[in-house]
C-alpha cells in the first residue's frame, strides 16, 4: 500500500504551489492508494474529494490551525 499524507496544496497561500489536479495525476501515475492534504483552510476540500473518488483514491482531509505561534494539526 502506498500513501502520501500531510501535503499542502496551493490553497494554503504562500506555502505551496502544488495544484490538486497535478497532485491527483501524480498519485494515479504512481499507484498511490491513499492521499491526504493539510491546508490552512478548507477551500480545496470539495475539489480534492471529487477527484479522489473519481480516481479511486482514499482521501484524508486535515486542517492546520496556528495558535499562539504553534501549529496544531
Alpha carbon 58 to chain centroid, angstroms: 11
What was the pLDDT predicted at 70? 77
pLDDT, tens digit, 9 for 90 and up, residues 13-65: 899 999 999 999 999 999 999 999 999 899 999 999 999 999 999 999 998 88
Could you tell me the three cell numbers for 46? 470539495
Return the higher-pLDDT residue of 41 and 71: 41
The domain locations on the chain are 3-72
Report whether 62 contacts 73 (CB < 8 A).
yes
What was the pLDDT predicted at 64? 83
Dihedral pair phi/psi, residue 69, rounded to 5°: 65, 20
Amino acid at each position: 500500500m502506498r500513501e502520501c499524507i500531510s501535503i499542502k496544496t496551493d490553497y494554503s497561500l504562500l506555502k505551496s504551489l502544488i495544484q490538486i489536479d497535478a497532485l491527483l495525476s501524480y498519485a494515479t501515475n504512481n499507484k498511490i492508494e491513499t492521499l491526504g492534504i493539510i491546508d490552512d483552510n478548507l477551500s480545496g476540500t470539495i475539489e480534492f474529494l471529487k477527484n479522489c473518488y473519481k480516481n479511486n483514491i482514499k482521501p484524508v482531509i486535515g486542517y492546520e490551525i496556528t495558535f499562539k505561534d504553534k501549529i496544531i494539526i
